[in-house]
Structure 1
C-alpha cells in the first residue's frame, strides 16, 4: 500500500481485530515510522473513530470498548449508488435476496452513514416513487448463486437439483463455465455431464447446489454471455410471431418493449416508398401481443400466425366496447368472459 488513505484504513482494520497494539508493531505492519502511525491515529480520530492511546510499558493504540463499525466513508454519489443499487437490483430481479433482506441491508447502510448524508438520502427515498416492473421475476436463492459462483471460480463440478420448463425434476452434474444476468434472470452455462453437451440453466429453477470433487478446464476464449443468448434464441416456443410494421427500425425499436423481439428491415409492401420492418418474436401465449402492437401506434400487418389476426380483432372489439361503455356493468359485458 502506497497511498496514505489505504494505510489509514489498514490501521483501522488492525485495531478492529481487538487488543492493544504498540506503535512499533503498527509501524512495522504498515511499513511506516512511529510518528506516521500517530498521525494516522489522529486521522481516525478526525473521522470520529474512537482510537484510544494507552500509556505505559504495555501501551499503544486500541479502539474504545463497545465500538463496532465506523461511519462509512462514502461520498454522496457513492452512497447514492449503493442504495439505488439495492433498490434497482431487487426490482430488476438481479439481487438474489428477499425483499426483507434488501430493505434491512439498505437500513444498515443508512445507519452507518454520517447524519447529514443519511438525512439527504432519506429525503430522496421518501419523496421518490418507482414504477412497477410489469412482471414478477423469480430470483434464485442466495445460497445457489454463491455456491455456483464458487464452483465457477474454482473450476469444480457442481451437482444441481434442477426443474426444467416442463416441471420435470432431475439431478445432474454441471461444469459451470460462467454466470450470466440477462433480462432480470440469472443463468449458468457449462457442460452437462449427463449429455456431455453445452447447456444453459436458469438459477431460479435450481433448488440445491453441491460442489463435487475434481476440476475442469474452461475452453479457451469461452464467452458465457454469447452462449446464453444463443441458447435462449434456440429455445422452442409455441408461437413464432411475425408482424410487418410501417416505420424505420429505430422508430419501431424505440416503441417496442426492450428485449421482446428482433427487427429486420424489409421492402415496402405498398407503392408509397414508406419504410417497413419485420418484427419477430416468440411466445407461449398470444393474448398479450395485441396490446404490444397497439402500443406501437403504427400501421402493421400480421404475417404469422394466422390466428393472431382473430385475437387482435377480438381484442379491438373489447377495447371499443369498453370505450363506449358508460357504466361498470356495460364495460364488463363488453369485455366478455375472462
Structure 2
C-alpha cells in the first residue's frame, strides 16, 4: 500500500515502477522485482508483457542469476517542451485544479515533475506567471471523479461497451445501473456521463463524483448519431425535475433570449412561427424552465429587456411586481 494514501497502488503504477527499476541498470530477478512491487512472480511476468506491448525492449535473461533487463541503449525520451507548450500544460493543470476537474494532489505532483525537467530560466518564468494568477470566481465544492471510474467510462464510450455503475443520487439513495455511455462532459466544474439506461429505455445523465464504481459488461451497443453528448447534458439540465415549473412567452430572437437563459437552464419552442423561419426575426417564443428557486428570475428577465408574459407560476408574477416596485422607488428617490 502507498504510505501516503493508505491505498494499494494501481496496476498501471506498478508497471511504471517496474520500468523505473529496470532503467536503473543490470538484470533484476523475478523474485527481486516481485518483492519490490509487492506482487507474485507471475504478476511480474504479466507486467513485463505489458511493457513489451508498449514497444519497451525488455529482455529475458536465462540461467541461475537470470531475470529481466532493458535492451541496450534504451532510455525514456526526455521531456522536450517549448515555452508555449510548457505554459499550456501548467496553465491547464492550474485551471483544472481550480475548476475541480482534476484532483488537487495529482495536479500539484504533475506540475512539480514538469518543473523539474524544464530549463531553470523557463521554470522560474512559468512559476512567476502561475503564482501571479488570480481568479474572479471562488472554487466550488470538490467534485473530482475517481480516476479509475473516469478511465473505465472513457473506454466504454470509445468501444461502445455497456457498463455497470454504482450511483448515489442527491438524496443519498444508492443504486446499481447499466448504462450505454455516449460521452463524458465537463460542465461548470463538474464531470458528467450521459447515455441510455437500457432497462428504462431512457436517456440519463450522472455526475461522475457520485459514481463509486464502474465496470465494463459483455456486449456492445450502437450510439445514436445525434445529438452530441454535451447537448444531451444541457438538455437534461433544462428538463430535469425541480421545485418550480416556469412557462414564459418572450418576444425576441432565440439569440437574445439565450443571452440570459442558456440551454442548460431553459428550452425554447416556437409560439408563432414566422413565414421565413429566419432565426433573426423577433417573434413570440415559449420558454420553459425547471428551477429550485425563483428569486433569480426577475433580475434575469429585467436584464433580458424584451417583452414577456408569465404563464406560470403566479408566485413569479408576485416577485416580478416586487422588483418593479423597488426599482421605481429607487428611481424616484
**Fold conserved (TM > 0.5)?**
yes
| Residue-by-residue CA offset, 1:64-92 (whole Å, 9 max, x unaligned) | xxxx984x311222222212222333444
Consecutive unaligned residues in structure 2, runs of 5 or more:
1-18, 27-54, 56-71, 273-280
Distance, in Å, in 2 between the alignment partners of 1:250 and 1:223 is 20
- 1:100 shift after superposition: 3.4
Among 145, 149, 152, the alignment partner of 2:150 is 145
- 1:121 shift after superposition: 1.8
Q: Is the 8 A contact 2:238 2:265 kept in 1?
A: no
Q: Is the 8 A contact 1:263 1:277 kept in 2?
A: no
Give the alignment of 1:108-119 within 5 angstroms.
108-119=113-124
Distance, in Å, in 2 between the alignment partners of 1:252 and 1:196 is 32
Distance, in Å, in 1 between the alignment partners of 2:96 and 2:157 is 22
Alpha-carbon distance change, 81 to 309 in structure 1, aligned in 2, over 3 angstroms = same
Alpha-carbon distance change, 208 to 281 in structure 1, aligned in 2, over 3 angstroms = same
Give the alignment of 1:1-338 within 5 angstroms.
17=23, 19=25, 61=73, 70=78, 72-93=79-100, 95=101, 97-132=102-137, 136=141, 138-195=143-200, 197-212=202-217, 214-219=218-223, 221=225, 225=229, 226-243=231-248, 249-255=254-260, 259-262=264-267, 278=285, 279-296=287-304, 301-314=309-322
| Residue-by-residue CA offset, 1:225-258 (whole Å, 9 max, x unaligned) | 1544554444333323344567655445445567
Alpha-carbon distance change, 176 to 290 in structure 1, aligned in 2, over 3 angstroms = same
- 1:288 shift after superposition: 2.6
If the length of structure 1 is used for normalisation, what is the TM-score?
0.59
Distance, in Å, in 1 between the alignment partners of 2:306 and 2:139 is 23
- 1:144 shift after superposition: 1.7
Q: Is the 8 A contact 1:246 1:276 kept in 2?
A: yes
Consecutive unaligned residues in structure 1, runs of 5 or more:
1-12, 21-28, 30-59, 268-273, 325-338
- 1:283 shift after superposition: 0.6
SS at match of 2:317: helix
Q: Is the 8 A contact 1:245 1:300 kept in 2?
A: yes
Q: Is the 8 A contact 1:186 1:203 kept in 2?
A: yes
If the length of structure 2 is used for normalisation, what is the TM-score?
0.60
Answer with 1 or 2: which has the greater Rg: 1
Q: Is the 8 A contact 1:19 1:62 kept in 2?
A: no
- 1:310 shift after superposition: 1.9
Distance, in Å, in 1 between the alignment partners of 2:213 and 2:119 is 40
Q: Is the 8 A contact 1:18 1:62 kept in 2?
A: no
The aligned length equals 261
